[in-house]
Amino acid sequence: MATELHVAARKISSVNPATGEILRELECAGESDVHAAVARARSAQGDWAEIGVRKRIAVLREFQRRLHKRKSEIAEAITREAGKPVAEALTTEVLVVLDAARFLIDNAYRLLRDEPLPHGNLATKLKRGRLVHEPYGVVGIISPWNYPFSIPATETLAALVAGNAVVLKPSEFTSLVALELESLLHAAGIPKDVFQLVVGDGTTGAALIHSQIDKLVFTGSVATGKRIAVAAAERLLPVMLELGGKDPMLVLDDADVDVASSAAIWGAFVNAGQTCLSVERCYVHRTLYESFLRACAEKTKKLRVGHGLDPETDVGPMIHERQLRIVEAHVEDAVTRGARLLVGGSRLTELGPSFYKPTVLADVTHEMRIMREETFGPVLPVAAFDSDDEAVQLANDSEFGLAACVWTHDDARGARLARRIQAGTVMVNDVVSCFGISEAPHGGVKSSGVGRAHGRFGLEEMVRLKYVDSDLMPGMKKVWWYGYGMSFARQMEGFLDMQFARGVGARLRGALRAAGVIRRKPL
């Protein structure tokens, strides 16, 4: 019977998107496997939390050392399974994780230790309060394929250093990268039951959502995120959702066209555009519009598309056929509705099954799908605007609100516009790199999600906040206890006047009325 079950088990294939080669087949964890993993994690979590923050930080330091030693090996593994150039794997994945570990090593003890909480209310001056940061218990993480190392690793490190156990379900397209993360963590000293991997497809992810985890961290599409939120609401499971974006780039009339155009093509085409922080909408002041378009088109033509393991490659393949078809549909819809195709717009079948030419579109409008739906591919759609107010209105005309960027020589002007843009992050004169700033929170508003990863706020997502209050006079009855009576009400009126009345005289009269409370004898 066991053999029959093994034969019938669902399998997934890890595929090199550049070549279509099957790298490895893996069995999907079933519902019982997932529930068993969560149960083991729960049993192990208490001991992990008990060792204390300093010892957990020491494990992170060892993880960081081992990752640095294997940096090139890990980058190449990412490239084989996700397609991006090795240089990008090093900068946007390995570097990000090494620095996230650095941030937690330097700051986790300070951020997680008990925090004294002073009391301003005179009635509570004989109390001492403190905030305690306690781990949730078991954190479930469902991570995507586009950044298969940096996203799950940064979330996992924060959860682990806070004292949680983690059960990670990686994307079915990039399970081998997750296995590399698992190997690094266990070698660094994370107990095997404290960090576990459950490989599988959507069914495996659904089993994790419905298991007895204490918090769920999900990165993926809006549609899936909404379904997860509904499922989590059934038992009030806390969730952190990062659901992608349609990030706008605003190029103001005083911007440097050469610099901004270089930023635009990198921001649009990095990881073949498969980045939640990609420039998916670009708005350029009309006075710079044509020169900006020419610069983008010329620079895009110079990009070298190819296999990520080739060190000369700038843009690698897309992850799979389904994503490529979305890009084709968005470009076709835009051209049909009047957009100008300046560069690209077709597959590169001679390179492999999943390559698409980096594409620049001009004269796009918000009636086109490419300006409203997440494209997640190597396309830069550009539109003109006439005023700062119009640029902000266009930027905010979206269901998404993950990030945005503003390009200008006037930093104060850029900062003013940044405050008006509805997004979790706005960069002035830079793009995408906010994800690599370990101190900065990562997350969005509107349909881009709930909660924050990275930095102090990402660490706070991994703990429950508890307030602990100690009374300094444990043998004394509190004056506000029963029984009340008319005199007590008058004393309380006086006490309120003593603290909050306008004018010194009114406060002194209040203090005299309240003085009798000292002689009061509660039940």
- d(Cα 374, Cα 385) in Å, to the nearest integer? 21
Positions annotated as catalytic residues are 242, 276
Q: Torsions phi, psi of 85, nearest 5?
A: -60, 150
Please calculate the CA angle 397-401-402 and round it to the nearest 5 degrees. Answer: 145
- d(Cα 458, Cα 460) in Å, to the nearest integer? 5
* Cα four-point dihedral sign 393, 273, 443, 409: negative
Contact 236, 205 (CB under 8 A): no
In terms of C-beta density within 10 A (0-12 exposed, 13-18 middle, 19 or more buried), how is residue 390 classed? middle
- d(Cα 258, Cα 127) in Å, to the nearest integer? 61
- Report which secondary-structure segment, H or E, holds 182: helix 175-188
Q: What is the DSSP string of 117-132?
A: E---SGGGTTEEEEEE
Coil, strand, or helix at residue 366? Answer: coil
Residues sharing a CB contact under 8 Å with residue 290, sequence separation 6 or more, in sequence order: none
Please calculate the CA angle 215-194-222 and round it to the nearest 5 degrees. Answer: 30
State the helix-helix crossing angle for 71-82 and 175-188, rounded to 10 degrees. 160
Displacement of CA 422 from its chain's centroid (Å): 17
Starting at the edge strand that comes first in sequence, how are the strands of the sheet with 215-219 ordered? 195-197, 165-169, 138-142, 215-219, 239-242, 449-450
For residues 212-246, one letter each, b for 16 or more C-beta atoms within 10 angstroms of the residue's C-beta and e for the rest, the string is: ebbbbbbbbebebbeebbeebeeeebbbbbbbbbb
Contact 191, 44 (CB under 8 A): yes
Q: What is the DSSP string of 416-484?
A: HHHHHS-SSEEEES--SGGGG-TTS-B--SGGGEES-BSHHHHHHTTEEEEEEEEES-TTS--TTSSP-
Contact 31, 207 (CB under 8 A): yes
Q: How many helices (H) and strands (E) does the chain have?
A: 18, 18
- d(Cα 391, Cα 417) in Å, to the nearest integer? 9
- d(Cα 426, Cα 406) in Å, to the nearest integer? 7
